[in-house]
Amino acid sequence: MDSQTKTEDCLGWAARDPSGALSPYKFSRRPLGSDDVSLKITHCGVCYADVIWSRNKNGDSMYPLVPGHEIAGVVKEVGSNVCRFKVGDPVGVGTYVNSCRDCEYCNDGVEVHCVKGSVFTFNGIDEDGTVTKGGYSSYIVVHERYCFRIPSNYPLASAAPLLCAGITVYAPMMRHNMNHSGKSLGVIGLGGLGHMAVKFGKAFGLHVTVFSTSISKKEEALNLLGADKFVVSSDQEQMKLTLHLVIIRLIPTCHS
């Protein structure tokens, strides 16, 4: 059933100023349209982007700001034209919730490069002029195109981080054909993204080497995540032996 006039209180956690402190915040989502999916949010991953915009590090934050773009939940209502999802389906929503849906990039399935600009899941301007609010909230309404089905046997808590951190490492691995067993992969940094790269690499059957300046990460890399080798990146002799690897850099850096 379409809800052209129906609104519903949504409980979220919002930053009100550049301190980034979050506090409870009630607001209304847009009414459900004929092509929309409304989902109850059960889990939302924490991304450093949430910190950046909550604290206005880019100078464009619009308060009150509800962060969160690694969203997993369950469909609670669908519009009359929706055919890909039904009530009760486990789904996810990632870093953007709208685009023009008509340009060459949208037609090629890379809406993030939309010529008119994709609409970010939070702190974006949607087509109706409203400011988008993210997954630190009880539910969200999005066009079905920007929902992704999650297998029913996959834990939603594990699925949520895949919607940003996961795709961030998965995309370059696929782009460089690093999904074929027997290849070697180097991962620099073992943080939120790095551990994802190790897990994808091992799932693809790759020989995975982790590089880190922190020897304390060795136990986690080898015994918890299953990496094949751990290299202390400040050790020049160890580094000389790794020049053949395809390396994914997953640590913050500045480029001039």
What pLDDT digit, counting tens, does each position of 66-107 carry?
999 999 999 999 999 999 999 999 999 999 999 999 999 999
pLDDT at residue 67 in the model: 98
Residues 96 and 202 in one domain: no
Q: What is the mean pLDDT of the chain?
A: 90
Residue ending a domain, among 116, 145, 163, is: 163
Say if residue 156 is exposed, middle or buried (CB neighbours under 10 Å; 0-12, 13-18, 19+): middle
Q: In the structure, what pLDDT confidence band is assigned to residue 250 with cuts at 50, 70 and 90?
A: low
Distance CA 172, CA 175 (A): 5
| 2 in any annotated domain | no
Residues 177 and 238 in one domain: yes
Mean pLDDT of 224-235: 90
Query: What is the SS3 assignment for 72?
Result: strand
The string of pLDDT tens digits covering residues 2-34 is 444 445 589 999 999 999 999 999 999 989 999
pLDDT at residue 237 in the model: 75
Which amino acid, residue 210? V
Say if residue 14 is exposed, middle or buried (CB neighbours under 10 Å; 0-12, 13-18, 19+): buried
> What is the extent of the structural domain holding 180?
166-249
List residues bridging with 9 in a β-sheet.
28
Mean pLDDT of 149-173: 94
List residues bridging with 186 in a β-sheet.
209, 247
Mean pLDDT of 49-71: 97
Distance CA 77, CA 200 (A): 33
pLDDT at residue 236 in the model: 76
Distance CA 250, CA 189 (A): 5
37 contacts 148 by C-beta, under 8 angstroms: no
Residues 32 and 111 in one domain: yes
234 vs 48, higher pLDDT: 48
| 85 in any annotated domain | yes
CATH number for the domain harbouring residue 239:
3.40.50.720
Residues 38 and 156 in one domain: yes
**For residue 123, pLDDT beyond 90:** yes
List residues bridging with 38 in a β-sheet.
77, 141
Q: What is the total count of domains within the chain? A: 2
32 contacts 38 by C-beta, under 8 angstroms: yes
Residues 102 and 220 in one domain: no
pLDDT at residue 243 in the model: 66
Q: In the structure, what pLDDT confidence band is assigned to residue 127 with cuts at 50, 70 and 90?
A: confident
Q: What percent of the chain has pLDDT over 70?
A: 91
Residues 140 and 172 in one domain: no
Residues 131 and 209 in one domain: no
**For residue 256, pLDDT beyond 80:** no
pLDDT at residue 244 in the model: 60
Residues 173 and 95 in one domain: no
Residues 24 and 45 in one domain: yes
Q: Return phi, psi of residue 65, to 5°.
A: -115, 120
